[in-house]
A = this chain, B = another copy of it.
Amino acid sequence: MTLPDALVRDADSKILFYILDGLGGTTDPERGLTELQAAAAPVIDELARRSETGLMVPVLPGITPGSGPAHFALFGYDPVESNIGRGVLEAAGIGFPLQDGDIAIRVNFATVDEEGKVVDRRAGRIPTEECERLCDILAAVVNLGDVEVFIRPVKEHRAAIVLRSRGEELADGVTDTDPQQVGVPPLELVAEHPGAEPVAAMLRRLLEQAREPLAAAGEPAYYPLLRGIARHRVYPSMQERYGLRSLAVATYPMYKGISRLLGMDVHEGAKDLGDQLAAVASEWDSYDFFFVHYKATDARGEDGDFEAKVAAIEEADAALPGFLDLGPDVVVVTADHSTPALMKAHSGHSVPVLLSSPLARHSGVEHFDELSCARYGTLGTFPARQLMGLVLMHAGRLQKFGA
């Protein structure tokens, strides 16, 4: 028996996940504050007072998650067991209809000199149209016999390749060819275990077929660098697990991709929180669960810009009333992981979480931040993957366990 899945029952309640990517921070030594402590976020603060609050550990204490495992955990999926490769994320991000067992690969079109040494790992960030042209050239020349090959442009120099076998299962475990530096040739494809040798051999053949046509297509010559070679597996959907008709409203492809992997419907075309609110409002009656993803908190954290991250938090706060006015029964405001401006990167710190519902114990925090969630949190510190159980209970969507 898997909990909470086995206890799920239907209800009319609406759940809103307001995910501020990378929201968690750490103390800036000069200010003596985290970004959240420094922010003026009156809407979130007022909500937090009447909410359950706490701290969540995305994977394990100290483990810095990528976006994939961090979001999987938020939605109640084991982030370690269901860790997905970069290639799968990339292909899912552009809406490619992955099937169980597909091998997905992230491609960077680079440029190389006459000796085959990398000149520019991003080929000068070519326009997406040029990327589309290179994908067409590849598609015309690559042939791996019985194994189907799909080649899709993503954005600028980035593309995705998917291998699909109708016969023998394909295994991943093949190393990247991106040397992560210029002036050296791409790395060899290495099978990390004997079962991965067939895929390594296919990709060597693909690179051999690609070399001359791509070299002829540009000056200096184009050449594809392969990364994140990963096997796709199908996960049980949010609908199957929780009975939730789920809609993702994100502005970045990666988060749409993650949502698709979990069977959510994905809204297309939203460019900012205003668009996202409009999308949620117009779909309000058609879904039970809304995943609103806000990217700027993470992006400004990655920039190392403390003040800009504070401003991003304040922007998200100012946009929240529109969503609250729709009348969700359960509102969660939290992050997938921390991105402290001090570190200019994701980190392994815990993330503050707020869960609002008519059933909430009012935590009484005056200001929603990492420290007040530690001090006054009614939920304590808990693994992010346990959040969905709390959410479903507060949404009236779980039966009692046991007699």
Contacts and interface: CB of A to CB of B under 8 A. Distances in A.
Interface of A: 1, 3-4, 7, 26-27, 29, 32, 34, 50, 55, 59-70, 79-80, 83-86, 89, 228, 340, 342-343, 345-350, 358-364, 370-371, 374-382, 386-394, 398-403
Contacts of A69: 401-402
Among the interface residues A55, A349, A363, which one has the most CB atoms of the partner chain B within 10 A? A349
Nearest to A338: B361
Contacts of A393: 62-64, 347-348
Nearest to A395: B62
Nearest to A89: B403
Contacts of A32: 362
A359 B62 contact: no
Contacts of A1: 80, 83
A360 B342 CA distance: 11
Contacts of A392: 62
Given A68-B402, A402-B68, A380 B389 contact: no
Contacts of A359: 26, 340, 342-343, 347, 349
Nearest to A348: B393
A1 B60 CA distance: 13
A376 to B, nearest CB: 6
B3 A398 contact: no
Given A69-B402, A89-B403, A80 B361 contact: no
Contact of A27 (B66, B67, B360, B381): B360
Contacts of A62: 4, 386, 388-394, 398
Nearest to A340: B359
A67 B401 CA distance: 9
8 contacts: A3-B63, A27-B50, A62-B391, A64-B398, A68-B403, A346-B400, A348-B393, A363-B371
Contacts of A346: 400
Given A3-B60, A348-B389, A358-B29, A401 B363 contact: no
B34 A400 contact: no
Contacts of A362: 27, 32
Given A29-B358, A63-B389, A228-B403, 17 more contacts: A3-B60, A3-B80, A26-B359, A27-B361, A59-B401, A61-B386, A61-B387, A61-B390, A62-B389, A64-B393, A66-B403, A83-B402, A84-B402, A350-B379, A363-B371, A364-B371, A375-B375
Contact of A361 (B4, B349, B378, B401): B349
A3 B361 contact: no
Contacts of A89: 403
B26 A361 contact: yes
Contact of A83 (B61, B85, B390, B401): B401
A402 B66 contact: yes
Given A348-B390, A403-B68, A370 B361 contact: yes
Contacts of A4: 60, 62-63
A259 to B, nearest CB: 15
A242 to B, nearest CB: 12
Contacts of A376: 371, 374-375
Nearest to A343: B359
A71 to B, nearest CB: 10
